Amino acid sequence: MRFCFIRDHRSHFSVKRMCRTLKVSKSGYYAWVNRRPSRRTAETTRLRSRIFQLYEEHSGCAGSPMITADLRAETEFRRVSRQRVARHMRQLGLRCQTSRRFVVTTDSKHAEPIAPNRLNRQFTVSFPNTAWVTDITYLKVGRKWHYLTVFIDLFSRIVVGWDLSNSLERHSVIRAFRKAFARRRPPHGLLIHSDRGIQFASHDFRSELRRHGCVQSMSRKGNCWDNAVAESFFHTLKTQFVRHRRFSNSLEAKLALF
């Protein structure tokens, strides 16, 4: 600790004076300064430096699980543990930043018919185009809120259709569904699961599903876990992609989202 003090205060005091005051030998100090760091110390220094670089690349929107996954993709750090990464991130003061703003996108207080919860949290399916989940989230574009609708195939967790609109009207949901249907051409009996929002309960959307032979399913009232896959996707999108971006217009936002 005394050698570290001397090293850190060389610009203020002479080494000779500090060594005399702290009762250490001048030769011992210079031997400590010139000593090569151990292999473990050097590796730790490189690891901490790489952690900081990856954190910056993610614009501060990454925690220890994501940083660990990135490190393990590199040969030098392929065996690093998440606990070790988390410890160094704490010491470096690096924390995953998340967005706290909230805009209501679900209006379930309506008189439209409600479909039963046919999905019932069965989020693992054996074949593609068996069940899709859908939801709506919000993004700031310019000075206004825009609304993103997505349809996700539970088999692959791929977004099969999406639409961005400056309105919460049902038409954006229908457009996103039509894009997904045209892309995937699913068979009759496809299950479409959503929350109880009026966009999904609307006559026009229900008619669209019937026309394509789809079966509708809705979450229980106020239960976000019934649509956990869509909720998880939006959380990832917000914290890792949207938070530090500013979109000046809808075209810019759409290109970035694509």
- 147 within 8 A of 164, measured Cβ to Cβ: yes
The one-letter amino acid at 97: Q
Determine the Cα–Cα distance for residues 195 and 114; give it in Å rounded to an integer.
Answer: 10
For residue 233, which of 154, 175, 140 has the smallest C-alpha distance?
154
Determine the Cα–Cα distance for residues 97 and 161; give it in Å rounded to an integer.
Answer: 28
- What tens-digit pLDDT sequence spans the chain (258 residues)? 677 888 888 888 888 888 888 888 888 878 877 776 677 878 888 898 999 888 888 777 778 888 998 899 888 888 899 999 999 999 888 888 765 554 555 555 667 889 999 999 999 999 999 999 999 998 889 888 899 999 999 999 999 999 999 988 899 999 999 999 999 999 999 999 999 999 999 999 999 999 999 999 999 887 888 999 999 999 888 877 776 678 889 999 999 898
pLDDT given at position 165: 93
Q: What is the pTM of this model?
A: 0.60
For residue 99, which of 240, 223, 227 has the smallest C-alpha distance?
240
How far is CA 176 from its chain centroid?
A: 22
pLDDT given at position 99: 52
pLDDT given at position 107: 55
Q: Residue written as tokens 């038409």?
A: 171
Q: Residue written as tokens 């079966």?
A: 215
- The DSSP code for 109 is -
The one-letter amino acid at 170: R
- Which residues are 147's β-sheet partners? 138, 165
In this structure, is the dihedral angle defined by the CA atoms of residues 41, 46, 47 and 51, taken in order, positive or negative?
positive
Determine the Cα–Cα distance for residues 208 and 48; give it in Å rounded to an integer.
Answer: 53
